[in-house]
Structure 1
Amino acid sequence: MAMASTSLPSNVHVSTHPCLRAKLSQLRSKDANARETKALVNEIALIIGCEALATCLENSPSGTAETPLDYTYTTETTTPNVAVVPILRSGLGMLEAVQMLLPEPVPVHHLGLFREPTTLQPVEYYNNLPYHRPTSVNPDPFPIPEIAILLDPVIATGGTASAAIQTLLEWGVTKVVLISVLGSEAGVKRAAEENGSEGVEVWVGGLDGEVNDKGMIKPGLGDVGDRLFLTIGK
């Protein structure tokens, strides 16, 4: 399994967690069925998500409460304001893990993008990011999140991830944290350098060297969406 390249931008983080690396090895196998694939994607997302959120979230006091022994303690909440954005379809396989990590429910928005098979360029077909306009209500009950946690299991050419990052930054988020199971070196660098790397962090479970002429990572994982949902393979 490939290790992180020394030429990667500083905003790219490749996990070295031994359990994640073993699970990624299991996920690569063509013999892993849809149920096993779903479980492995979820477990890997839980590990890499834990690593990513440890660096981009902070805690602040939120009040007081009492323990079962009637002792008073100070409660904590995570900041800043966060939303989760899975890229359809395969990003849905990572959603439950990230929701499990976050201590409170947060908004979940969806972006649908696919690669045009001839040019391999991203095409957006679905976007449910809320339209925001100036509000007289203070504070705004539906503010644009400061951080968007973007979920995409595979970063191959990097085109889809880059397009999604650009969409989120244009929407108004301050920072995009992209969490992925596996990426190619070139694709990860392309995503990380979107917007000149300003406001972008990329966290991946593993790194492979290249993609083939169909835009698939070598050796890679195949098409994770097809594997998760038992649709026609590519």
Structure 2
Amino acid sequence: MRVHVADHPLITHKLTVLRDESTPSPIFRALTAELMTLLAYEGTRNVRVEPVTIRTPVAQTQGVRIGKPKPLVVPILRAGLGMLDGMVKLLPTAEVGFLGMARNEVTLEPTTYAERLPEDLADRQCFVLDPMLATGGSLTAAIEFLFDRGAQDVTAICILAAPEGLAAVEKALAGREVTIVLGALDERLNEHGYIVPGLGDAGDRLYGTV
């Protein structure tokens, strides 16, 4: 498994505003989309392309275009939806699937409650969007779900991660072709399974408490 922590002052700046508990939901949503575009740039560094011949106003030349089958972007509901606009802005030709996962707040174990994905993901590059890599349970389950459908190359893009969750994902997915792209690697998890210093519950801060 490959791990890349983005190191850019604009990412750190936007993360600082996201962390601030006084940042209201509309600004939080807008900044999440902006931050996601920056992280998507890092996450798509190895997106598959194929050669193409074009003609400029001056001459014929060789270039590349996004390869086929098209990449698949999979936000984990509900918080992952806040990252989707920023991702498809950078990769508009990608297809989008959805995976609904929730964490049991007592056991901290993930459960899948909804999915809208192709049955066969063979040869598809998949990009999973999940703001918080906390215990690692939900992200691991989501990635394993994609591999069970035939995916062979999965990149997960997360705004924040805790070392414990990152270690858990790496252990569970040993030997898989997985890349994790992070906006920041935080200090630890607290006793409730929340990232410290973190930014709170990303879903609640994006959309309000259900």
TM-score (norm 1): 0.83
In structure 2, stretches of 5+ residues that fail to align are none
Question: In 2, distance between residues paired with 1:189 and 1:197?
Answer: 14
Give the Cα separation in 1 of the matches to 2:170 and 2:47.
19
Match of 2:103 in 1: 115
Aligned partner of 2:141 in structure 1 is 163
CA contact (8 A) 1:166 1:194 kept: no
1:165–1:194 Cα contact (<8 Å) kept? no
Report the CA distance between 1:225 and its aligned residue: 0.7
In structure 1, runs of 5+ residues without a counterpart are: 1-9, 133-142
13-22 vs 186-195, greater mean Cα deviation: 186-195
Correspondence list, 1:21-60, <5 A: 21-54=12-45, 56-60=46-50
Structure 1 CA distance for aligned equivalents of residues 184 and 68 of structure 2: 28
Counterpart mapping for 1:146-225 below 5 A: 146-225=124-203
Q: 1:2-151, aligned counterparts within 5 Å?
A: 11-54=2-45, 56-64=46-54, 66-67=55-56, 69=57, 71-79=59-67, 81=69, 82-102=71-91, 104-132=92-120, 144-151=122-129
- Following superposition, the deviation at residue 59 of structure 1 comes to 3.2
Tell me how far 1:73 sits from its aligned partner.
3.2
Contact conserved, 1:87 with 1:113, CA < 8 A, in 2?
yes
The alignment-based identity, stated in percent, is: 34
Counterpart amino acid of residue 156 in structure 2: L
Across the aligned residues of Structure 1 and Structure 2, the Cα RMSD in angstroms comes to 1.7
Residues in 2 aligned to 1:74 and 1:176: alpha-carbon distance in whole angstroms: 28
Q: Which residue of 2 aligns with 1:137?
A: none
- Which secondary structure state, in structure 1, belongs to the residue aligned with residue 95 of structure 2? coil
Structure 1 residue 215: deviation in Å? 1.3
| Equivalent residues, number | 209
Question: What amino acid is the match of 2:161?
Answer: G
8 Å contact from structure 2 (residues 53, 60) kept in 1:
no
- The CA deviation at 1:79 is 3.1
Distance, in Å, in 2 between the alignment partners of 1:193 and 1:44 is: 28
Partners of 2:115 and 2:103 lie apart in 1 by 16
| Secondary structure class of the residue paired with 2:164 | helix
Question: Structure 1 CA distance, aligned partners of 2:202 and 2:111?
Answer: 18
Report which of the two structures shows the higher radius of gyration computed on alpha carbons. Answer: 1
CA distance in 1, matches of 2:114, 2:50: 35
**Contact 1:80–1:147 (8 Å) recurs in 2:** no
Instruction: Kindly indicate whether residue 209 of structure 2 is the aligned counterpart of residue 231 of structure 1.
Output: yes
